[in-house]
Amino acid sequence: MKRRDFIKSGGLALSTFAIPFSIMDFFTESNKKNNMNNQQKFDAIIIGGSYAGLSAAMALGRSTRNTLVIDNGKPCNRQTPHSHNFLTQDGQTPKEIATLGKAQVAQYPTISFHDGLATKGTKTTDGFEVTTQSGKVFTSKKLIFATGIADEMPDIEGFAECWGISVIHCPYCHGYEYRKQKTALMANGETAFHMIPLIHNLTDQLIVLTQGKADFSEEQWQKIKAHKVEVIEKEITAVKHQKGHIEKVVFKDGTTLELDAMYAAIPFKQHTDIPQALGCEMTEQGYIQVDDFQKTNIAGVYACGDNATRMRSVANAVYQGSVAGAMLNGELSHEIF
């Protein structure tokens, strides 16, 4: 079959303008589109429908590409009460931003959503095949992973309940709200030393909790002491809180430390192993390796958002998604022309 035979109108889009129809209209239309024929071949399948995925859909929708977004509705920031540092949406809840984005994307007539979890992806002779947990199979010419990452909670009582509320990861996303307050940083070594100046800029009431023997160079120790940053090397066993708002941490020896907030550098894993199964290269830190255009080493496969960058923010996810969508459309356009 010739390439021109594959051309179909389609698309997804995300914009920041007001929705010209009601949210109920959106959900009615979205539900209709959820019932697409899974024998249809899409120009692109986007796995992951949060900020990066919807932003990729924006570029593809406005380029009339027939696109399917597969999402299971479990973004990593679903517990976070407010999102910050994203222009026009500062202080909104993550859910409000995502709902508005999806509603605007859904206005484009060829958009399709599938509520579900993608569990398998394979390369075909002319594209890709994606299988969901429910057994549905969809095919596309190109593939975008906007799947985010899964934070791995430490075995500390109360930690997970506070994550994204008062136990936080990013001074740009959450730090302003806890400025000038008593704040801890649960980290050690180079990671801790990278974060200390950023947090100290917001509060001089900073205590570093290294969870064991501190690992700093002599030069780093000198700077830490010069700025009167306390370092505690005891192990944390519990975080006491009220509905996610930290009150104190409990150490293994039974002593406690009252706090208003705590930053934490914790490990993560990819939400899905499909990229690795397809042969996508990973960085040493565990992110999907991409170039400046969000392309992986596998032809036709892109990745964007938290799964491909250390800079975890709504703004950056939207940026990377937009790049991925635009580059994918450019690739298709040149192949067809």
CA angle 175, 176, 182 (to 5 degrees): 65
Which residues contact residue 103 at a Cβ distance below 8 angstroms, ignoring those fewer than 6 apart? 19, 23, 26
Q: Tell me if 53 sits within 8 A of 71, measured CB to CB.
A: yes
What letter would DSSP give residue 272?
Answer: -
Question: What superfamily does domain 159-264 belong to in CATH?
Answer: FAD/NAD(P)-binding domain (3.50.50.60)
- Tens digits of pLDDT across the chain (337 residues): 443 443 333 333 333 333 333 333 444 444 445 545 556 799 999 999 999 999 999 999 999 999 999 999 888 788 888 999 999 999 899 999 999 999 999 999 888 999 999 999 999 999 999 999 999 999 999 999 999 999 999 999 999 999 999 999 999 999 999 999 999 999 999 999 999 999 999 999 999 999 999 999 999 999 999 999 999 999 999 999 999 999 999 999 999 999 999 999 999 999 999 999 999 999 999 999 999 999 999 999 999 999 999 999 999 999 999 999 999 999 999 999 9
Which pLDDT tens digit goes with each residue over 240-271? 999 999 999 999 999 999 999 999 999 999 99
Query: Beta-carbon neighbour count of residue 30 at 10 Å?
Result: 17
**pLDDT of amino acid 33:** 53
In the numeric block, which tokens belong to residue 213? Answer: 């023997």
Which pLDDT tens digit goes with each residue over 17-36? 333 333 334 444 444 455 45
Domain boundaries along the sequence of the chain = 3-150+268-336, 159-264
Kindly report the backbone phi and psi dihedral angles of residue 148, in degrees, each rounded to the nearest multiple of 5, phi listed first: 65, -165
* Cα gap 312→307, rounded to integer Å: 9
Q: Are strands 137-145 and 127-132 parallel, antiparallel or unpaired?
A: antiparallel
Tell me the Cα Rg of the chain. 22
* Cα gap 305→319, rounded to integer Å: 8
Measured CA to CA in angstroms, residue 44 lies from 121, 144, 330 at distances of 13, 7, 12
Q: Which of 41, 29, 164 is nearest to 102 (CA)?
A: 29
On the question of a common fold for 3-150+268-336 and 159-264, the answer reads: yes
**pTM of the shown model:** 0.87
Kindly report the backbone phi and psi dihedral angles of residue 62, in degrees, each rounded to the nearest multiple of 5, phi listed first: -75, -5
The letter for the amino acid at 10 is G
In the numeric block, which tokens belong to residue 145? Answer: 């992973």
Torsion of CA 272, 274, 280, 285, to 10 degrees: 20
Under CATH, what is the fold of the domain 3-150+268-336? FAD/NAD(P)-binding domain (3.50.50)
Alpha helices in 201-336 (DSSP H): 218-226, 274-278, 314-336
Q: How far apart are the first and last CA of the chain?
A: 15
